[in-house]
């Protein structure tokens, strides 16, 4: 697999690059505009330079396929068509420095060159993939390829595009297209933004509360439900239901139940603690953040309990019997037997819950709206505000990548805990 994968990835990468960055030319565009990068999808890179990159990729892929005895005819067609398309592009871009409106013939020639490179990339891809799939050991990867393609479309392209955008200035109220590159300015701006640091603080606070309570309550429920009984079986069957509730619906439900006029949770708390009858839960910064975390715990603790129940079921009863023979009481069984054996599962569950807590968004929108003030404005919600409320797409992209970096760090630890060092 490792020997054949590079042969496939080169033409695949080229095909994806061309398909997703295919530019369109607005009317009355000048050569200077085109050279400056005012082309949708490839802003800042320039039309010609992207063509050149694609041509180099495809020519390299064709040579690679040829040397490794793949379909030589397809490899030859890929190389030749890329070379021809590149020459056409050179010719079409010959007026880039002109301040006048481009001659449509030159523009069309450049577009034909771009389409030629795309066709060459598809030929190279088919040649490589056909040779790759003919081997019996690679058939499983052939079956996985549609899913991989979907992931590339909905994940890889947005990630790459957002990363590029994070280095650019783009406010939608000023320009419908991204403007010039600003380097690290958007990232440096975040570190001077007190609202960014507020969202970081809120996110960390929410994560700590929700992760600790979810893991502790999940473990407690698992210990209670591990003994076989009819009632425990019924309860375990229903544990998945809270997690199955959509986060947005969860936020609306908790907002309704905490309403001071008709909320059922508000009424229950007021009847038990009369001195709290005047508290408007979601209007108080502390309580708003607390109940936001509790709404998350309500959905996650039962799921974590199911994970712990599975882990407890894998522990041999002989270990507990041997500890009892040695005189261990229930607390000592838990402290010195159960807890150490559950340590790997606890680490995995904690990391998984941390990742989901760091990207909390839905319940913030439907339950608190980031308020009161900015008390529940998580980092993910702050990214949304900058992108879709303040329409500052460049800054929002930089904030999004700061969040991605944090999530990636925890994801690496999660994969290492789940699969060991060979997992990454």
Instruction: List Cα–Cα distances, 166 to 178, 280, 304, 400, in angstroms.
Output: 10, 40, 36, 9
What does the pLDDT look like over 41-72, one tens digit per residue?
334 344 555 555 555 655 665 565 555 555 55
If one looks up domain 194-423 in CATH, what number appears?
Answer: 1.10.3720.10
* DSSP tag of 171: B
> Which region among 231-240, 290-299, 389-398 has the lowest average model confidence (pLDDT)?
231-240
Q: What is the DSSP string of 137-153?
A: GGHHHHHHHHHHHHHII
Cβ contacts of 25 within 8 Å, gap of 6 or more: 34, 39, 107, 111
User: Quick one: average pLDDT of 180-208?
Assistant: 92
- The pLDDT tens digits of the residues spanning 107-150 come to 555 555 556 556 655 665 566 566 655 665 666 766 777 777 77
The pLDDT of residue 324: 87
Return the structure tokens found at 240: 């998945």
Q: Looking at the predicted structure, is the pLDDT value of residue 210 above 80?
A: yes
Gyration radius of the chain over CA positions: 29
Q: 5 vs 1, 126, 346, CA distance in Å?
A: 6, 14, 36
- Residue 82 pLDDT more than 60? no
* C-alpha torsion sign, points 196, 200, 206, 207: positive
pLDDT at 37: 42
Give CA torsion, residues 74, 76, 78, 79, to 10 deg: 160
Residues 113/85, Cβ–Cβ less than 8 Å: yes
pLDDT band at 84 (very low <50, low <70, confident <90, very high): low
Give the pLDDT score at 144. Answer: 75
Q: Which residues are paired to 168 by β-bridges?
A: 181
- Using an 8 Å Cβ cutoff, are 364 and 292 in contact? yes
Helix residue spans in 226-338 (DSSP H): 230-238, 240-244, 247-257, 264-272, 285-313, 317-325, 330-333
Q: What is the DSSP letter of 226?
A: -
Calculate ∠ Cα 352-354-356, nearest 5°: 75
* Residues 73, 74, 77, 82, CA torsion sign: negative
pLDDT value at residue 97: 44
More confident residue, 371 or 19: 371
Read off the pLDDT of each residue in 74-78 and give the average, rounded to a whole number.
Answer: 56
Q: Are 98 and 127 in contact (CB under 8 A)?
A: no
Residue extents of the structural domains in the chain = 5-136, 194-423
The closest of 222, 199, 201, 203 to 211, measured between CA atoms, is: 203
Q: Cα-Cα-Cα-Cα dihedral of 31, 32, 36, 42, to 10°?
A: -20
CA distance 342 to 1: 36
DSSP character for 423?
A: G
Residues 6+ apart with CB under 8 A from 163: 397, 401
Name which of 366, 385, 377 is nearest 248 in CA terms.
366
Tell me if the pTM is above 0.85: no
Task: Encode pLDDT of 219-259 as tens digits.
Answer: 999 999 988 888 888 888 888 888 888 889 999 999 999 99
């Amino acid at each position: 697999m490792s020997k054949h994968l590079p042969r496939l990835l080169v033409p695949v990468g080229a095909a994806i690059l061309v398909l997703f960055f295919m530019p369109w030319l607005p009317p009355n565009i000048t050569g200077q505009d085109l050279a400056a990068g005012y082309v949708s999808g490839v802003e800042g890179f320039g039309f010609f330079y992207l063509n050149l990159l694609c041509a180099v990729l495809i020519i390299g892929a064709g040579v690679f396929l040829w040397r490794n005895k793949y379909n030589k005819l397809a490899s030859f067609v890929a190389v030749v068509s890329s070379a021809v398309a590149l020459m056409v592009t050179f010719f079409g871009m010959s007026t880039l420095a002109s301040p006048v409106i481009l001659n449509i013939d030159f523009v069309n020639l450049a577009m034909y060159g771009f389409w030629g490179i795309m066709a060459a990339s598809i030929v190279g891809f088919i040649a490589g993939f056909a040779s790759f799939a003919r081997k019996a050991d690679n058939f499983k990867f052939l079956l996985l390829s549609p899913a991989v393609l979907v992931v590339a479309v909905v994940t890889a392209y947005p990630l790459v595009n957002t990363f590029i955008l994070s280095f650019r200035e783009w406010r939608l109220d000023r320009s419908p297209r991204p403007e010039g590159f600003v380097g690290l300015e958007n990232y440096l701006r975040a570190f001077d933004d007190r609202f960014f640091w507020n969202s970081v603080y809120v996110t960390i606070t929410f994560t700590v509360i929700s992760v600790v309570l979810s893991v502790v309550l999940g473990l407690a429920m698992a210990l209670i439900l591990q003994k076989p009984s009819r009632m425990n079986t019924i309860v375990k069957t229903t544990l998945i239901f809270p997690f199955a509730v959509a986060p947005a619906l969860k936020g609306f439900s908790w907002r309704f139940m905490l309403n001071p006029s008709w909320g059922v949770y508000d009424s229950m708390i007021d009847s038990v603690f009369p001195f709290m009858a005047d508290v408007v839960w979601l209007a108080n910064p502390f309580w708003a953040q607390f109940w936001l975390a509790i709404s998350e715990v309500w959905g996650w603790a039962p799921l974590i309990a199911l994970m712990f129940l599975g882990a407890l079921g894998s522990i041999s009863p002989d270990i507990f019997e041997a500890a009892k023979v040695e005189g261990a009481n229930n607390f000592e069984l838990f402290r010195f037997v159960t807890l150490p054996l559950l340590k790997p599962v606890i680490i995995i569950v904690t990391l998984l819950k941390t990742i989901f807590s760091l990207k909390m968004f839905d319940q913030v929108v439907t339950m608190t709206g980031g308020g009161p003030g900015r008390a529940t404005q998580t980092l993910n919600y702050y990214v949304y505000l900058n992108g879709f409320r303040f329409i500052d797409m460049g800054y929002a992209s930089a904030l999004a990548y700061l969040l991605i970096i944090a999530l990636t760090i925890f994801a690496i630890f999660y994969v290492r805990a789940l699969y060991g060092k060979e997992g990454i």
